[in-house]
Structure 1
C-alpha cells in the first residue's frame, strides 16, 4: 500500500469518526421500523430521520473538503471534548465522590482484606462503597468500575494459576505489590504511608533485587573490560621498554670503550646503565643525577648479580657529586 493510500485511509477513518459523533443510531433504527401508514408522531420521527441523514451527508462532504491539517485538528478537538465529557460524567458517580474515598487509617489496621477490599483500597475507594456487587451496573459506563472489575478478575485468575505467589490469604502488603506490578494502577500514597506506619513495607524487593542484579552485572562487565584494557596496556609498555633497552644497548656498543674490543655480558649492562641514567646528566644540576638505588634496581631487573649491580651503580656515579637525598 502506497503512502497516498495510507493517507486516504486515515482521512476516511477520521471522517467516519467525526460523522458518527453526530449520528443518532436509535433514531434511524426507529425510522426503519415504521409502517407504511404513519401516525402524526411517526411521520415526525421519519422526517427527523430524513433531516438527520441529509445533515450527516452535508457534514461528510464538508469534512472531505478540508485539508489534512484541518481534518486532524477537528479530530483532536472532538477527542478532547469526548474526554472532558467522560471526566465530567465519571465524576457524577457516587463512588467517585469525596465521601467514597477510603479511610486508610481505619483499613490499615485490618490484619487481612478480601480481594474486593484490596482492589477497592488500591483504587483509593472505601470497600464499603466499591465492591463487585455495587460496581457491576456501572462497568459499561465508568472507567473506574471497569478497572475495578478487571483487577478483581485478574487477581482471581492469577491466584488460581499460582504464577505470582498470590494465595487466598495473601498479606495486604504483598498483594498491593502485585497490583503495582500489573502497571494498571499506582497505589495511593495515603495508603502506602498508613501501612508503613504499621510496619508494612510496600517496597517490591524482588524488583529492587532484579534491578540491582542487572546493575551489578553491568558493573562487572565494565570491570572486565577495564582489566583487559589495563593488561593490554601493560603488555604494550613492556614491549616498548624492551625496544628501548635494545636501542640503548645498540647505542652503547657503537663506540669503542677504553678497554678496546674486549666485551662481556656484564660490561654490556654497565654500558647500558651509563647510557640510560647518565647520558643526560648535567653536572651543574645535581637533580638530573639518578640515585644509586635507581641504577641498582634497574640492573637487578636485568639479572645482574646484587653485588655487581651495587658496584656498577657506585662506579658510574661521579666522585665529586655531593651526597644527599638522591644518593
Structure 2
C-alpha cells in the first residue's frame, strides 16, 4: 500500500517574491520526479484563495484558501517578499500560521517570511535568519528572536528560516536530503543544475560582493594591496607604514570605512580567497595556506572554523562534490 504523500503548503500573499515560492516548489517537484517515496504534495495557499501578483509582476493562482488547509501538514513554508510586512500585520494570516504550525512536522520561512513567523510568535526564543538587508529590522521589531544575518539557513528545533530568495533552494535541498537521503538529493541537484547543498552556515554575503570599494583613497589602496599580496606581511604596523599612518589612524579609518579592524579584514580576505582556491583547485592545504598568508594549515583550519563554522577539508569535500557531482 502506497504511503500517504508528504503534504506541503506554501503560504503566499500579494507582492510575494516569486523565487521564494518557486525554489521550494521546484526542488520538491524534482524530488518527486526522481522517485521520492512518499512523494510531496505541494500546494500554494493565500488568505482568500485569489490570484496574487508577485514582486516581479507575474501572477500566481493558489490552490486553496488558508482556512481550507487541513492540519497535520508535513511542512509549512512561509514565503517572503515586499508584501511580508502587510502579511505579518494581518491577524487572519497569523492565526492560520499558528494553527497549522501546531500540528506541522516542521515549519519554514524563506527570506522576509521570517517576519511573518516572528509576528505569529513562532520564533520567540529561537535563533533565526532572514535576508541580510532586513536582519536589523527584524531584530529591532522582535527582540525575543535571536537574529543571525550571516547563515544561508538555520534550523532551531522544527523551525527553519532561510536567508533570502535562492537560499530557499538550499534549505529545501537540505530537507529533501533529510527525508530521502543523499542519493536522491544528488539526483535532484543534477536535475536542477545546482549545488547539491550549500552548507547552511555559509555566509550570505561574501566580502567580495558586499559592496563597492571604499571611497577613502588610503583605505581603497590598502584593500587592493591586501587582495594582491596575501602572502606578504599584512600586520597592522606594516599596513600603517605602507600608508604613512599611525596604527591608531589606520584602525580608525578601517572602522569608519569598512566597519572592522585591519587585522580582521585581512583574515577575512585570506579566508575567503582560500575558500575559492579550495573549491576551484586541487592544491594541497599546505600550499593554499602558504599562498593565502596563513602561517600553517592549523591557522587556516582555525580561520575556517571561525568564518564558516566548518574545517577546510570538509568545505572542500562539499564544494568539489557539488561542482563535479
Higher RCO structure (Cα 8 Å, ≥6 apart): 2
The TM tier, using the shorter chain, reads: under 0.3
- Give the TM-score of the pair, scaled to structure 2: 0.21
Q: Which has the higher helix share?
A: 1
Q: Which structure has the bigger radius of gyration?
A: 1
